[in-house]
Amino acid sequence: MKSGSRLLANSTWNAMAFLVSVGLNLLILPFVVGRLGVASFGMAGLVVATIAPALIFSGSLAMMSTREFARTLATAARHETRQFFATAMFLSLAVGIPLVSLFWLVGPAFAQRVFQLGGDLVDDLFAAFAFGAVGWLFQCIAGVCLALFTAHQDYARLALVSVAGSVASTLSMLLLIPHWPQASTFVACQMIGFAVNLLLSMVLARLLCPDVVAFPALHSRSLVTLLHIGKWQALAQGGGLVAGQAERYLLGMFLQPQHVGYYSIALRAEEAIYIGVLKIGEILFPFFSALQGESDERVGDLFFRASWILNVLAVTVLGALIPVAGNVLYLWTGPEVAAEGQRVLIVLALAGILGSGTNVFTFYLMAKGRTRANAAISLVTALFTLGTSAVALPYFGWPAAGWSACAGALAQMVFMTLLLRRSFALPDIGLRVWHFVLMPIGVGVVGAILLRVWITTYGIDQGAALWEVAGYYVLSAAAILMAVIAVSSIGPYGAICRRDLYRIVTRFLPARSF
């Protein structure tokens, strides 16, 4: 009960920070697209996608730092934690600064040649790459400080840093983009948000752990540990990068920047919900890291219960987007984007539902140090994603965008199911996988598609008012949620599902007793 309460509290902080950040991003995007134009917005997306390979390093460093911080803090080895912190900071600068220089020198020419950019867009490339690369470096260094908060499971401080960066970035866009309506200005505003994240995270880290925070230094033992575990995590990050950016790369190569802009807008709408589910679930990473001494049965029980809760959440909030995809884009960005992007948004929502089914397993593998298995899952996902994109986009054009994400997520789900049977020595592992993982996703997807057909045939027009669209979204979410809960309540694990749902509901109700 104590662990469950802490997990719910951490999830609440993560969800609150995400809601503020994503709310600001969604509100500012129509303003940005209107000022920049879809083509410049698409070019900014291509610049970010070109810099994205650097996230392989920064993401792996943050994840492995979190794991080692959580492990050493749990055993009260704070001197060892300090050495890991100093080494991680050293790596962030030693690798980050050369990468920034490389992007400055090579990035503009690479993007111009590969994505066939021309006209006024070319003149803005160097500034966009300069701001984007420096912003990534700020993000990389801040990730080490934020790893301390994650290891402490101090999600209140994480929420504060996230909200502060989002507010700074949004205010910068409102002030600067009207005066300099260019893609580089948009990227510069994102950089300002990362700079605020860095400054605030360093100050809060110093206040939280003054005996752990240290200047950059190289400790051989810490370096060997980070590199040994991190090499497979880097491969996993690389596979995830290919899966996440493949559409942008191929759209930029085969089509025009405005198509990248349409795709980025649809993806932003889907990611706004998907990342929210991911943020709520990522508190499981340090939680699993601290359960090293627990029995396999205990960890397996927590794993599958957490999987069911997150799967129910994912199919509810993402599935409800499918029936009203066109209406959401119409209200958000106008009829042009709605006409071009609604089919892509539907497919991306389906991919998000499938992808959410593997998130808990990913956190579990990282916490256990089984980064090789994570790398294998990411590579399988990347191969299916890239292969589908390479075949579909040249022949079917822009409308085929998004199907590769769906194919990659489906392959990821199949591969994860096979690995799950080998990860837990439980006699009823097959039935648990079906009840807690596969069944909620299947019921949710079928329900979302049926609601889409019904609303398209008998429901609202595309130009419906905001309150109508919101009402249909809420009704769709409620219908999917009730269907999934009803099916999950049947069977040998129905009582477990009902009990966990009751605990969650009573925690968030004003009165905690019925």
CA distance 486 to 434: 15
CA distance 232 to 489: 39
Q: Could you tell me which residues come within 8 angstroms of residue 483 by beta carbon, excluding any fewer than 6 positions away?
A: 443, 444, 447
What is the pTM for the complete model shown?
Answer: 0.63
Contact (Cβ atoms closer than 8 angstroms) between residue 276 and residue 19: yes
Average pLDDT, the chain: 78
Residue 237 pLDDT:
59
In this structure, what token pair is assigned to residue 440?
A: 């909620």
Task: Quick: pLDDT tens for 407-439.
Answer: 888 888 888 877 777 777 777 788 888 888 889
pLDDT bracket for residue 512 (50, 70, 90): very low
Residue 484 pLDDT:
92
Closest CA to 373 of 432, 409, 420, 427: 420
- In this predicted structure, the answer to whether residue 239 has a pLDDT above a threshold of 60 is no
Contact (Cβ atoms closer than 8 angstroms) between residue 246 and residue 386: yes
CA distance 236 to 127: 31
Task: Quick: pLDDT tens for 284-329.
Answer: 555 565 555 666 677 777 778 888 888 888 899 889 989 888 888 8
Residue 513 pLDDT:
38
CA distance 104 to 259: 26
Contact (Cβ atoms closer than 8 angstroms) between residue 93 and residue 150: no
- In this predicted structure, the answer to whether residue 42 has a pLDDT above a threshold of 60 is yes
Give CA separation, 270 vs 84, 237, 318, 329, 352, in Å: 36, 21, 8, 11, 8
- In this predicted structure, the answer to whether residue 26 has a pLDDT above a threshold of 60 is yes
Q: What is the CA radius of gyration of the chain?
A: 22
What is the amino acid identity at position 492? Answer: P
Task: Quick: pLDDT tens for 188-234.
Answer: 999 999 999 999 999 988 887 788 888 888 888 877 777 766 555 55
Contact (Cβ atoms closer than 8 angstroms) between residue 95 and residue 57: yes
Contact (Cβ atoms closer than 8 angstroms) between residue 291 and residue 302: yes
- At 153, phi and psi to the nearest 5? 55, 40
- DSSP for 31-84, please give it: HHHHHH-HHHHHHHHHHHHHHGGGHHHHHHHHHHHHHHHHHHHHTT-HHHHHHH
CA distance 42 to 324: 24
Q: Which residue has the tokens 């060997």?
A: 224
C-alpha 93: how far from its chain's center?
A: 25
